[in-house]
């Protein structure tokens, strides 16, 4: 499977600049970048870059607030009701979990619900915030109706995820992060973009019948509850989803069930309800972390049903993915997912972290720079084309980053064959320089006229190659 390997810092900066391009408050862009990068870093690709376009569209259309802060409507020593003020979910989530942690430290427990919120990324991002304080964390949220209840044909519930995190010794932890649907909707979308079928039990068609076609699920059908069909206990996932609505929709006063706006509808405010809980285990029996470590050890050391497949604890798959990313030196992204991001939001993607600071965003009129050369459509010689092909065959050793100075004058042209792609990242991890080349060529292939690239390729012919990092 071909993938792009991108450094974590590059992805983070890329998201921040995209958010700045649509007018979001700087701290809000940083908050979103934190949660989306963490999602991909932990292996939850359905809730990382895959979700960026949702936030950008909500902000560009003005259906979601670009600045401001959440406000506390009601508060007791242990509880609070928060007005999210229609801000992006990560801003509301961080505010609420910080408040819950403070109350838990003071009185042993903090229970905070919020209304007026939006999509907040992976739920585990918030529950895990309690771990560094030695607390147990829990969070859940309602979402747009994309799940068909058991025995029904219409979507009336969201994926309604739940996450619980509990600390153990030496930095170990239990981190449950799960949707109450069979899978998250983003996983269906990822499979569709890859052109692959989904496993049976993930979703149904418009008649409520099980299907493996992601398009049937996304257009007229819906996700199945956790457990799948009724015969395989799907009614239990249905019940858990309703429980989330009790904690989020009912307690907060937000929208709920089919009243929540349809998925990706930017004509209506989402007004999601969310719940954040922090518990101080020291208010109960002593030795909590020691007992947790023993509980985790008991299960990790169980006899394996299949040789080589260890018994895992919730949170272990994510830890393994993080280690793999650290080993490779970046986050591996499927080619189709990255291509989708660029093609879908070309007006924001001139704000790449790889472009020089002087490059203005194409979302706004670009000021004329005195030192910028006029754009032209020159005659391209066959020798230039030969050099371009030779450059690509040699692995694109000479970076094209200087060409990004002229991104403001782009239209989508597929000129360069393909950026550096790795099929086996673990054995062929890209260096920082190679990552830059990959991002640059991908962006250039979309946004820079082919004739311009060919005409200016000669400008960099004699530049020395940078040292590998």
Task: Write down the residue that tokens 């962006």 correspond to.
Answer: 443
Sketch out the chain's domains with CATH numbers: 26-328 (3.30.1370.60)
| H or E element in which residue 242 lies | helix 234-245
The SS3 call for residue 177 is strand
Q: What was the pLDDT predicted at 427? A: 42
- Taking the C-alpha atoms of residue 386 and residue 368, their distance in angstroms, rounded to an integer, is 33
First to last CA, the chain: 26
DSSP string covering 91-121:
HHHHHHHHHHHHHHHHHSEEEEEEEEE---S
Whole-angstrom Cα distance, residue 12 to residue 84?
24
* Residues linked to residue 275 through DSSP beta bridges, in sequence order: 113, 140
Which residues, other chains included, contact 88 with Cβ-Cβ below 8 Å and sequence gap of 6+? 24, 28, 31, 32, 55, 58, 59, 64, 118, 119, 120
Does an H or E element contain 307, and which?
A: none
Q: What is the pTM of this model?
A: 0.74
Helices 432-447, 335-344: crossing angle, 10 deg rounding: 40
Give the per-residue pLDDT at 391. 40
Sign (positive or negative) of CA dihedral 213, 214, 217, 218: negative
Instruction: Quote the pLDDT of residue 356.
Output: 33
The pLDDT value given to residue 190: 82
Instruction: Specify whether the backbone of 150 is left (phi greater than 0), alpha (psi in -120 to 50) or beta.
Output: beta
Both tokens assigned to 74: 């009601």
| CA Rg value for the chain | 24
Could you give the CA distance from residue 211 to residue 184 in angstroms, rounded to a whole number?
16
Report DSSP state, residue 230: G
DSSP H helical segments within 329-469, as ranges? 335-344, 382-393, 432-447, 450-456
Among 161, 116, 162, 124, which Cα is nearest to 143's? 161
Which residue, among 323, 321, 313, 455, has the nearest Cα to 43 in the 3D structure?
321
Neighbour tally for 287: CB within 10 Å: 11
pLDDT tens digit at each of 469 positions of the chain: 677 888 999 999 999 999 999 999 999 999 999 999 999 999 998 899 988 988 999 999 999 999 999 999 999 999 999 999 999 999 999 999 999 999 999 999 999 999 999 999 999 999 999 999 999 999 999 999 999 999 999 999 999 999 999 999 999 999 999 999 999 887 898 899 889 999 999 999 999 999 999 999 999 999 999 999 999 999 999 999 999 999 999 999 999 999 999 987 888 999 999 999 999 999 999 999 999 999 999 999 999 999 999 999 999 999 999 999 999 999 998 877 777 666 654 544 444 443 333 333 334 333 333 333 333 333 434 444 444 344 433 333 232 222 222 222 232 332 222 333 444 444 444 444 444 444 444 444 444 343 433 344 344 334 344 444 4
Residue 436: predicted pLDDT? 46
pLDDT of res. 343: 61
CA–CA gap between residue 96 and residue 141 (Å, rounded):
12
Q: Which residues are CB-contacts of 249 (< 8 A; sequence separation ≥ 6)?
A: 142, 255, 256, 257, 273
At 397 the pLDDT is: 29
Pairing of strands 173-178, 203-204: unpaired
């Amino acid at each position: 499977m071909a993938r792009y390997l991108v450094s974590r810092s590059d992805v983070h900066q890329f998201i921040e600049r995209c958010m700045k391009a649509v007018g979001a408050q700087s701290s809000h862009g940083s908050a979103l970048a934190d949660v989306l990068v963490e999602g991909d870093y932990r292996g939850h690709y359905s809730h990382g870059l895959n979700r960026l376009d949702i936030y950008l569209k909500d902000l560009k259309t003005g259906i979601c607030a670009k600045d401001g802060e959440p406000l506390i409507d009601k508060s007791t020593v242990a509880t609070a009701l928060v007005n999210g003020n229609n801000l992006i979910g990560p801003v509301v989530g961080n505010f609420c979990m910080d408040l819950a942690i403070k109350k838990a430290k003071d009185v042993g427990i903090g229970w905070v619900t919020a209304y007026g919120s939006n999509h907040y990324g992976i739920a585990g991002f918030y529950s895990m915030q309690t771990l560094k304080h030695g607390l147990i964390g829990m969070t859940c949220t309602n979402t747009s109706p994309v799940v068909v209840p058991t025995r029904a044909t219409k979507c009336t519930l969201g994926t309604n995820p739940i996450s619980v995190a509990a600390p153990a010794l030496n930095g170990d932890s239990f981190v449950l992060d799960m949707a109450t649907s069979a899978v998250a909707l983003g996983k269906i979308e990822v499979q569709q973009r890859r052109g692959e079928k989904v496993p049976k039990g993930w979703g149904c068609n418009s008649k409520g019948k099980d299907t493996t076609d992601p398009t049937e699920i996304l257009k007229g059908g819906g996700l199945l509850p956790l457990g799948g069909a009724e015969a395989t206990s799907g009614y239990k996932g249905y019940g858990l989803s309703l429980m989330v609505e009790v904690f989020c929709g009912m307690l907060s006063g937000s929208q709920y069930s089919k009243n929540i706006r349809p998925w990706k509808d930017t004509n209506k405010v989402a007004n999601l309800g969310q719940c954040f809980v922090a518990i101080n285990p020291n208010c109960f029996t002593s030795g909590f972390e020691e007992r947790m470590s023993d509980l985790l050890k008991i299960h990790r050391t169980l006899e394996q049903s299949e040789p080589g497949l260890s018994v895992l604890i919730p949170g272990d798959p994510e830890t393994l993915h993080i280690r793999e990313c650290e080993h490779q030196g970046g986050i591996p992204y499927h080619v189709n997912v990255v291509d989708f991001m660029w093609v879908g939001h070309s007006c924001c993607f001139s704000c790449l972290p790889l472009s020089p600071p002087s490059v203005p965003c194409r979302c706004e009129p670009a000021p004329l720079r005195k030192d910028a050369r006029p754009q032209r459509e020159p005659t391209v010689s066959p020798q230039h084309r030969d050099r371009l092909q030779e450059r690509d065959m040699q692995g694109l050793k000479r970076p094209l980053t200087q060409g990004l100075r002229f991104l403001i004058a782009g239209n989508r042209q597929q000129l360069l064959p393909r950026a550096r792609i790795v099929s086996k990242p673990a054995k062929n991890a890209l260096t920082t320089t190679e990552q830059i080349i990959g991002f640059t060529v991908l962006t250039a292939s979309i946004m820079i006229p082919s004739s311009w690239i060919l005409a200016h390729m000669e400008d960099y012919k004699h530049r020395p190659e940078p040292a590998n990092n």
